[in-house]
Every structure is written in C-alpha cells, then in structure tokens.
Structure 1
Amino acid sequence: MDHAVDVSGRTPLAASADPAAAAGQALTTIGAHLIPAAATMACLGVDEDQWRRFTSHWESLRADPYAAERGTRRLRRHGRFVFSAPRRSFHLLPPATFVQPGDSNPLYVDVDRRFDPLTSYFVADPVVGAVLRMLGRLATGLDGSELWDVQVHPFRVIASADAEGLPTPEGLHRDGVTLVASLMVGRRNATGGESEVCDMDGNRLLATTLEEPGTLLLGDDRRTLHGVSPVRPLDPHTQARRDVLVVTYAPRCGSTTG
C-alpha cells in the first residue's frame, strides 16, 4: 500500500468528501498531492474490468531509444491532445516530435524526440478519457486557461540484476508545464522507485513509493521539481517492471486565462 510522507512542515489539509477538490486545494497551497488508489478509482468511475483492459495497453509499448543511449531499458508511447475546459472534451492531435522547453528537463533540452504513437485502442479507452477529464479539472484550477496542450506518456521501466531501471535518468527536473501527473498502473518484482516532489530549492514536499494501481501523484510543475529513484528486482533472477501513465497539461498558446 502507498504511504506518502509530507515533509513540507505545513499543516495537513482537512479531509474532503471530494478527492479532486482536496487535490486542487493541496496543489494551490503546497504544490503536490497524492490521491490514494480507491479515491482515484471513485473519481474516474472505473470498475475492475475497465481497469484490467486499460492496463493491457502496456503490453504494446515500444522501446525508448533515447533512454537506451543512457543505459536504461524503458518502453513507451506518446500522444498529444487538446483539452477544452468549458466543454470538458479532448481531441487527438497528429503525431509529432516531443520537445521540452529550455528551462525544464536538463537531458533533453531542445532535443526533438520521436516515439511510437498511442494506439487507436488506447485513445478510445474510456479510462483514458476519464483520466484526461479529471486532470483537466485540476489543471484549470491552477490556471484559468480554456484550452490545454496535453502530453500523454504510458511508460514501462524494466530492471534486471545487472541493470537497474531509471524512471527519471535526468534526476530532479521540471517538464515545463503547469500540471504533471503520474498514475501508477502496475509493478512486478520491483523494489525502489520512490517518487519525490521538491520545491525549487530542492526541499522535499512529498515522498512516496507508488505501489497500489490507481494511485495518482500530482505536482504543480511551475514551482516544483520531481524525480523517481532507481528500480531494482526483488528476485534477481527475474526482471522487474514499473508501469505508469504520465500526463502533463500546459495552457495552449492564445488560450483565454482567468
């Protein structure tokens, strides 16, 4: 079971009957928040069968050649959406290179990276739509933009006895967006993989190891850094894996803000 440690020294927020409302409050005050799996599933309205079909998409990911250059085995796909806050709707954009802004990820500044696109089955999955709408609500609470650029990255990090898995080989970093979210999809034979969110001075705000599928870690990327420690196999004779869905929201250029 996931256990988050708030190391910010701030007074914990009062419990809320609406997990998304509590998350929005924490993001605007602390800058980071963890939603437990059961609360996430309730917000998404997802049952076990729907979740099982959703997790099956991780079996069709493709190798990340850029991560391989740095000695880690990572599988992924990538897709771009536009989210309309007033309509709570989204549409898929054509495949394109993934470029992060110059004040964010130090490993890939201004590097054009191209990944295999999301499958049509993934895009049509109702769980994906529920996730995008939930996160769109949270992003709009941070910035009143009506239109959002959304980047969607399903990841699998693989580790073995002689090669640890590096979910964030760049270490603590920003993505150059407004909201960054990591949804735990599954772990197998894995130890390590502690997530941390820090302020811009490197002081920890939240630390947790995402273990239970459905747990959702959120950060206001404009004022925090995030990273994940290496993953290693519990049984050295078998590979370890860590599956997550990372989604980011940034205001679309020219969008109205409040």
Structure 2
Amino acid sequence: MTRKSSPQTKEPNSDHPLEAARAALISGGAHLVPAAVTTSCLGVREGDWERFRTHWDQLSVDSCSSALGARRLRRYGQFLLTPAVERIRLLLQAAFVQPEDSNPLYVGVERTFEPLTGSFVADPLFRAVLRLLGQVATALDDPAVWNAKVHPFRVVASPEVDGLPTPEGPHRDGVTLVSSLLIGRQNAVGGESSVFDPDGGLLLTATLGEPGAVLLGDDRRTLHSVSPVRPVDRGRPAYRDVLVVTLTPG
C-alpha cells in the first residue's frame, strides 16, 4: 500500500543503512527490519544480545495488566534524545499516561511502573538502539529533540494461561514512531505481530523470531497488536522479551 508523504516527512537518505525502513515508513506506515540488519547497524558482537537480555531478568510485575488477567513484567523510563549531537538524557520518573485516540483501555489513566535500572540506562547497546531509532524516525518528522518512552517487557505464558502482549487488541500508542525490538523468546510459540491501517486492513504481519528483529510503525497512521504467546513444552513456562520504544517530538 502506497501513501503520500505528509508535509513534515523527509525523503529517505540513500546512504542510510536503514533506507528500506525509512522508505517503507513513508510509503506504507510499517516495516520489519530483519535481525541481521539491526545487528549489523548496531555493531553487535557475538553474545551481546544474550548479555543485554539479562536486564529482562530484573523486571517488575505490571500490576495494571495483571488486573486484566495478563502476566507481564516491565519497567519504564523517559528520555530526551537530541539527534544532532546524539545526546541522550534521562528524565525524572513520572506516571505513564496515554493520550486520547490511542489505547482504549488506558486513555487518560496514570500508570506507575518501576524505573529502569541504572545498568540498563547505562548499557551501550541500549543507547545505540535509541540513537538508531532516532535516525530512522527522521523519515517521519525532524524535531530538534525527540521524547523517547522506553518499555522493556516480558510476557509470560503457562500451560493454564496464555501470555497476552496486547490485551487491548489493535491500538495506537499516541506517538509518532512505535518500535518493538525482540530481545529473546524461551519455550514460546505465537506472539505474531500485526499492523493495520485505520480501517482495519492488514498492512503487515510477522513473528519476531530472532534477537534484533524490530517492527517499526508510523503510529499516526496505523494500529498494532500481538497475538497470544503459548508454551511449546507445556511442562515449562514460556516468555517473550521485547523492548518497546516510542518517539514523539519533544
């Protein structure tokens, strides 16, 4: 599906390593970046994804989703990203509030989550991911500063209860760029990501299977959801670890 660019949209830079992603965001609103491309762009070495994944063992229970029957662990933090000088600044911890015309379960609701750990914030791989997303997002808008909301998630499934990455169903986050980066999967099947146009037409569907695979969406023009996660071996728990980062002009 091809769409006209908005007045704020910048044409893709042919020298950018993620040119295809930038062009796809402009034309269709969504793009899946293969793990190999992300890994190459970030300069990730063997073992880096597994080392980075250990931060997900430090997440806390998401009590808001637990009330809906979903088993999710998470933390949350907010940053200012200045692309011109590649500056990243952590903001003071605050409640997470989604705007109108976004997530139907939580519009206007103040949700409080445990902050990101200091080791996560300082991790060079996390900072490289944030800078890379800031470069990609300039295909959609070109502010002097981006506001980045950062959510490391773990969705847990058991033989009795499926893991629900998006209990709200197809939704927006009320931002400019929404991204979901796979960090790891254990004993898990399902978790298929889908992106829709505003009328519900399917634009893209994919299962993030390898660490480094990242789904990008122009949140102003699309909706997204993820199917339930189930254990492959029903005798063991299953989980799906992702890093969700959203960007809006700051």
TM-score band w.r.t. shorter chain: over 0.9
Give the structure 1 partner of residue 144 of structure 2: 146
For residues 33-48 of structure 1, the aligned pairs below 5 Å read 33-48=31-46
TM (norm. structure 1) is: 0.90
Give the structure 1 partner of residue 107 of structure 2: 109
* In the alignment, structure 1 residue 70 sits paired with structure 2 residue 61: no
- Does structure 1 retain, via aligned residues, the 8 Å contact 2:2–2:27? no
Amino acid at match of 2:50: R
Q: Distance in 2 between matches of 1:148 and 1:24?
A: 17
Amino acid at match of 1:152: V
Aligned residue pair count: 240
Q: Secondary structure at the match of 1:173?
A: coil
Amino acid at match of 2:153: F
Shift of residue 216, structure 1, vs aligned partner: 0.7
Give the structure 1 partner of residue 84 of structure 2: 86
Q: Distance in 2 between matches of 1:190 and 1:53?
A: 20
Alpha-carbon distance change, 32 to 163 in structure 1, aligned in 2, over 3 angstroms: same
Shift of residue 50, structure 1, vs aligned partner: 2.7
Give the structure 2 partner of residue 4 of structure 1: none
Structure 1 residues not aligned, in runs of 5+: 1-7, 11-15, 253-258
Q: Secondary structure at the match of 1:212?
A: coil
For residues 26-37 of structure 1, the aligned pairs below 5 Å read 26-37=24-35
Shift of residue 236, structure 1, vs aligned partner: 1.2
* In the alignment, structure 1 residue 118 sits paired with structure 2 residue 103: no
Give the structure 1 partner of residue 127 of structure 2: 129
Q: Secondary structure at the match of 1:247?
A: strand
For residues 168-183 of structure 1, the aligned pairs below 5 Å read 168-183=166-181
- Does structure 2 retain, via aligned residues, the 8 Å contact 1:19–1:35? no
Q: Distance in 2 between matches of 1:26 and 1:41?
A: 19
Shift of residue 156, structure 1, vs aligned partner: 0.2
- Does structure 2 retain, via aligned residues, the 8 Å contact 1:38–1:214? yes
TM (norm. structure 2) is: 0.93
Shift of residue 237, structure 1, vs aligned partner: 1.2
CA offsets, 1:177-200, max 9 Å, x none? Answer: 000000000111111111001111
- Does structure 2 retain, via aligned residues, the 8 Å contact 1:85–1:140? no
For residues 1-258 of structure 1, the aligned pairs below 5 Å read 8=1, 18-252=16-250
Give the structure 1 partner of residue 6 of structure 2: none
Q: Distance in 2 between matches of 1:131 and 1:149?
A: 14
Alpha-carbon distance change, 9 to 136 in structure 1, aligned in 2, over 3 angstroms: closer
Shift of residue 9, structure 1, vs aligned partner: 8.8
Q: Secondary structure at the match of 2:139?
A: helix
Shift of residue 146, structure 1, vs aligned partner: 1.0
- Does structure 1 retain, via aligned residues, the 8 Å contact 2:49–2:183? no
Q: Secondary structure at the match of 1:24?
A: helix
CA offsets, 1:70-129, max 9 Å, x none? Answer: 011100000000011211221100111000001100000100000000000000000011
- Does structure 1 retain, via aligned residues, the 8 Å contact 2:49–2:211? no
CA offsets, 1:213-242, max 9 Å, x none? Answer: 110110000000000001111111111100
Q: Secondary structure at the match of 2:18?
A: helix
Structure 2 residues not aligned, in runs of 5+: 4-13
Q: Which moved more, 1:130-139 or 1:44-53?
A: 44-53
Shift of residue 58, structure 1, vs aligned partner: 0.4
Identity of aligned residues (%): 59
